[in-house]
Amino acid sequence: MPEFDSDLQKYDRQLAKGFKSLTFSDELESEFRTFFHARNVVKQRGAIIVGILLLLLLIPLDMAHLNGEIREFYLIARAWITIPILVLALVFTFREGFRRYFSVFSFLIITFIGITTNIQVVYGLQAGVYAPYEGAMLLIMVAFFLGGMYFRQSLACIILVALSYLILSETYLGPHPSKLHQYFFIFATCLIGGVSAYTLEYQVRISFLQRGALKSLAKTDPLTGLYNRGALNQKLTHLTEYAFREKKPITLLLVDVDFFKNFNDQYGHIKGDQCLVEVAAALAKNCQRPLDFAGRYGGEEFLLMWFDAAPNEARTFAEKTKRSVDLLQLAHEASAISNTVTLSGGMVTGIPTRPDQAEAIVHQADQNLYRAKDSGRNRIIIQDLGDEHNIADIVK
């Protein structure tokens, strides 16, 4: 059976293929990132608010144990830099254009907290004073779980924070009884955060694919995998409105398998279904551009739509569509006009003159379909949009 793409298939195919590297195909990856940002906005606000509250709670507690230069460094890093940045980030989450950059911001702020914590701890150990790091570790964990970073960003963050502590401690500390203890907690915190980030993103990606498959299933014809009538009407309405606003031409084609009832009577309904699936696959291959689409309008009737095609391309579309089914060479001994499966069709092309013209466009194409049937079948009749009295072209 010829293969063709449908919305449902692209999700199912990605699920079957897997994504251990946390990457989809280009089309799905772009769609996922939009979904990811929209899904995480509330969680991101929560992470920021929790982070600010934790800082406000921990700063007084930590300051009670600090003195000298380390106290001043801690106050600047936490109170005068981190908190204002978090407040600014909270404001920006309410701005649509900023949201897609939030994961980058999360990466920067978490890395900043981690590195400044490392400086603080090494400074304190070198000076022989207590330098608290547990609160910052808690902030890092909150950010990993709620910050909305992608796994690769989390991994980069882990590496930077861990390396910074390794470099600082080896550069400024000699043998120290607390060094191994500090190593363990910093590396363990980053490792747990990274594993959690991977697991969370993996589950979110599964949810995205399953959600997409379910949504596609609701608008997909179960036999052919093409859009069903409800989805076709919805897409046609939106595209007609868009074409009207942009003054762009659209080309709509309604086709019908000739003498399909006779086909079912001759070969049976199972063979009839197989015939429709192969015809659908052939038709779908003629709609490959981003805004083009094809679907099953009902029974043995299909609808194809091309957006922003030049007026002289209508005949080319009709010829390619008809030829794609002719080349299948599907036997149809019960046809009155051919020994293979053929199509009759009605095509309309032009720029919509009003935004609510979708139904009228389908009606005009349907009238041309009946003209094609009445004039002998196995042909496509083409008309300019709005001109219902003159035939622009006939493809046989």
Catalytic positions:
300
* DSSP secondary structure of 284-314: HTT--STT-EEEEEETTEEEEEEES--TTHH
Residues 6 or more apart in contact with residue 312 via CB below 8 angstroms: none
Decide: 12 and 291 in contact? Cβ < 8 Å: no
| Token representation of residue 323 | 């030829």
The beta-strand segments (E) located in 329-373 are: 343-350
Pairing mode, strands 343-350 and 380-384: parallel
Q: Rounded distance, CA 200 to CA 207, Å?
A: 11
**CA nearest neighbour of 76 among 146, 165, 161, 66:** 66
Place of tokens 């150990």: 125
Q: Rounded distance, CA 78 to CA 262, Å?
A: 79
Amino acid at 116: T
298: β partners: 301
**CA nearest neighbour of 300 among 247, 356, 341:** 341
Tell the burial category of 289 from Cβ atoms under 10 Å away from its Cβ (0-12, 13-18, 19+). Answer: exposed
Residues 6 or more apart in contact with residue 37 via CB below 8 angstroms: 99, 100, 102, 103, 148
Give the distance from CA 104 to its chain's centroid.
19
**CA nearest neighbour of 36 among 116, 100, 115:** 100
**CA nearest neighbour of 106 among 89, 119, 91:** 89
**CA nearest neighbour of 308 among 387, 354, 240:** 240
Q: Rounded distance, CA 361 to CA 383, Å?
A: 11
Check residue 225 and give left, alpha or beta (phi > 0: left; psi -120 to 50: alpha).
left
* DSSP secondary structure of 142-196: HHHHHS---HHHHHHHHHHHHHHHHHHHHHH--S-TTHHHHHHHHHHHHHHHHHH
